[in-house]
Structure 1
């Protein structure tokens, strides 16, 4: 199970809800630190937890700007790919596929950037 700090989990032994606040242990003795509604810290093994909800950080201003920039570059790449394919004599189906490929290159690069700079999940 992969967890991140801030995820909401349910402890299976007494069905209490809590948020993941940290990880403890070494090697095979890994514990998850869970804070329940009363603010009490509890330690639990991964097998004693059920994931209820993932914590997602809101998109920052910088990420929104990069997302808009990536979208604009992807549209430009689409235009350039379609225009180039049409000038080389391709019919509309091949021109459409080249435009789709140009857009996909930028979209995939942006998604990988989001994944690499996003929150970290820890396997417990």
Structure 2
């Protein structure tokens, strides 16, 4: 199981919800520390926990601007790829596939770049 700080987990034993605050090791067994609403920190084995929600950092202003810029670049790449294919004498289906491929090349690059900037998850 991979967890990040801030993930919401549920203990299967008593169905207690909590937010992951860390990992500790006691007697050779790794335990997940999570903060429950009663104000205490509990420890649970990773096998006894269910991930309810993943922590997602809210986008910053710079991230929103970067998203819009990459969407614009993807549309421009799709337009240029389609125009180039059409000028080369391609059929409409090949023109459509060229546009889609150009768009996806930029979109996938943005997606993997944002995955690298996401919070790190650790294996428990």
1:14 positional shift: 2.2
Q: Could you say which residue in structure 1 is the equivalent of 2:65?
A: 65
User: 2:24 and 2:62 mapped to 1: Cα distance?
Assistant: 33
Cα shift readout 1:33-85 (whole Å, capped 9, x = no counterpart)? 11111221112110121112222111111111111010111011011101111
Residue correspondences, number: 123
Q: Could you say which residue in structure 1 is the equivalent of 2:122?
A: 122
Structure 1 gap segments, 5+ residues each: none
User: 1:53 and 1:116 mapped to 2: Cα distance?
Assistant: 20
Q: Could you say which residue in structure 1 is the equivalent of 2:16?
A: 16
Q: Could you say which residue in structure 2 is the equivalent of 1:94?
A: 94
TM-score using structure 2 length: 0.92
What RMSD in Å do the two structures reach over aligned CA positions? 1.4
User: 2:82 and 2:13 mapped to 1: Cα distance?
Assistant: 59
1:29 positional shift: 2.3
User: 2:84 and 2:90 mapped to 1: Cα distance?
Assistant: 9
Q: Could you say which residue in structure 1 is the equivalent of 2:107?
A: 107
Matched, 1:53 2:53: yes
1:89 positional shift: 0.8
1:118 positional shift: 0.6
Structure 2 gap segments, 5+ residues each: none
